[in-house]
Structure 1
Amino acid sequence: MALTMMVNGLTLDKKGFENDRERLLDAIAKGNELKERFIDVMNRDSEVFDVLIESLALPKDDDEHKAIRRGAVQASFRNCTLVPLTMMEICSEAIDLCAGLVGTTNPNVVSDLGIAALTLKTAMESAWLNVLINLSSLKDKAFRDECCQKGEALLAHAVPIAQESYEKVIKVITEK
């Protein structure tokens, strides 16, 4: 998000973009909101992982303890799945924002939009790996299927947009 916001900032007062001021300010506001959401989900990822570690350390001395532990572990893996799935949603929104700026901002810093698109795509794919590894520990098939469908839909939407943004950036640079 920092690169996308930097490009907006460097375009905002540039000659020739005076008529784009409101659009750029809106993009900066959306970028700030996404940045805060990224920070929140990163913090939550650490928190839910800590809870998972605690649940794995619960006693399993007898059947009652084993049942309590099993329930806590499953709940923890569920939360450890939902957080990176949320990260994927935020990445998708950020990719959409980035894509809408390519070709409409300061061409001298357009490469940063390409880098942002690729970085966001990689972050999204990395979050997907975390979703998949956590789903592999869950017994709830309906939940697994729902998360898989959601994650695959997010990837199907955002990955091509990120790639198109990257290719559009190359075109803008090479046609200068």
Structure 2
Amino acid sequence: MLQDLRLKEFVEELGSSSPAPGGGSIAALSASLASALASMVFNLTIGKKDYLKYEDTVKNAIDSSLYQVNLYSKKFLNLVEKDTEAFLSLMKAYKMPKNTDMEIELRKNAIKKGNDSSLEIPLQVAESAYRLYPYIFIAVNYGNKNAISDAGVAASLVETAVEGAVLNIKINIQNIEDKDHKVDLKNKCDNLLKKSRDEKEKIMRIIESKLE
């Protein structure tokens, strides 16, 4: 499994002539790293002097956020694997024989299944990554002040995850025959991109104001 590789091994595999893992898996990895960074900020906050001064509602929000980002971190690591598996499955489908009507039909169905997964997984990455922003807002507003830059890096990684996943969706949209579905997906991606950029900029403005 990719997530079991050492960092150096993973980077070498990524840079090899193998087409997978590729950008889709890295988008998911970016989201996992964003989750882990947010987790670090919360872990550096809970139990500290400033944390103890917060009202219970704020403490609960921080505690809950830590729990959620840890779940997301694991989820995105699994999506790293799934994205690579989906791509390899699609490539395998294209190599299936097409000498008879039955083989042609089997190949067509396998390609459709592979292409559906190649759209579904990055969409899941993009939408799930976007859901990390509220937790990062909490990290920025209430987290350990010495780790506010780490929360900013987490926000940047979320934006990278969303953009990277959307690029993978858009390249696979070309294989969709249903024009309405194609337009719907593209609009969904464009809307998600805009919202993601807006949220990231809001977070960066807060961070910049606290660093002045």
Structure 1 contact 58–69 (Cα < 8 Å) conserved: yes
The corresponding residue for 2:7 is: none
Residues 79-98 of structure 1 mapped to structure 2, 5 A cutoff = 79-98=117-136
In the TM superposition, what is the alpha-carbon distance from 1:64 to its structure 2 partner? 4.1
- Structure 1's consecutive aligned runs of 4 or more residues displaced over 4 angstroms after TM superposition are none
Residues 25-36 of structure 1 mapped to structure 2, 5 A cutoff = 25-36=63-74
Structure 1 contact 4–31 (Cα < 8 Å) conserved: yes
Equivalent pairs, count = 174
Residues 7-22 of structure 1 mapped to structure 2, 5 A cutoff = 7-18=41-52, 19=54, 20-22=58-60
Amino acid at match of 2:169: V
Q: Does 1:171 align with 2:205?
A: no
The corresponding residue for 1:37 is: 75
- For residues 130 and 13 of structure 1, the distance between their equivalents in structure 2, rounded to whole angstroms, comes to 41
Structure 2 contact 149–207 (Cα < 8 Å) conserved: yes
> Cα deviations across residues 100-137 of structure 1 (Å, max 9, x unaligned)?
33122111110001111011101110111000011112
Q: Does 1:68 align with 2:117?
A: no
- For residues 81 and 185 of structure 2, the distance between their equivalents in structure 1, rounded to whole angstroms, comes to 21
Of the candidates 32, 35, 40, which is equivalent to residue 6 of structure 1?
40
- For residues 56 and 14 of structure 1, the distance between their equivalents in structure 2, rounded to whole angstroms, comes to 56
The corresponding residue for 2:13 is: none
TM-score, normalising length from structure 1?
A: 0.90
The corresponding residue for 1:56 is: 94
In the TM superposition, what is the alpha-carbon distance from 1:63 to its structure 2 partner? 4.4
SS at match of 2:143: coil
SS at match of 1:17: helix
TM-score, normalising length from structure 2?
A: 0.76
The corresponding residue for 1:139 is: 177
In the TM superposition, what is the alpha-carbon distance from 1:170 to its structure 2 partner? 1.5
SS at match of 1:86: helix
Structure 1: give runs of 5+ residues left out of the alignment.
none
SS at match of 1:102: helix
- For residues 148 and 154 of structure 1, the distance between their equivalents in structure 2, rounded to whole angstroms, comes to 10
- For residues 125 and 91 of structure 2, the distance between their equivalents in structure 1, rounded to whole angstroms, comes to 21
Structure 2: give runs of 5+ residues left out of the alignment.
1-34
- For residues 181 and 109 of structure 2, the distance between their equivalents in structure 1, rounded to whole angstroms, comes to 15
Structure 2 contact 62–138 (Cα < 8 Å) conserved: no
> Cα deviations across residues 73-93 of structure 1 (Å, max 9, x unaligned)?
122112101100000011100
Structure 1 contact 95–161 (Cα < 8 Å) conserved: yes
In the TM superposition, what is the alpha-carbon distance from 1:141 to its structure 2 partner? 1.9
- For residues 106 and 117 of structure 2, the distance between their equivalents in structure 1, rounded to whole angstroms, comes to 17
Structure 2 contact 93–107 (Cα < 8 Å) conserved: yes
Structure 1 contact 89–154 (Cα < 8 Å) conserved: yes
- Structural RMSD (CA): 1.6
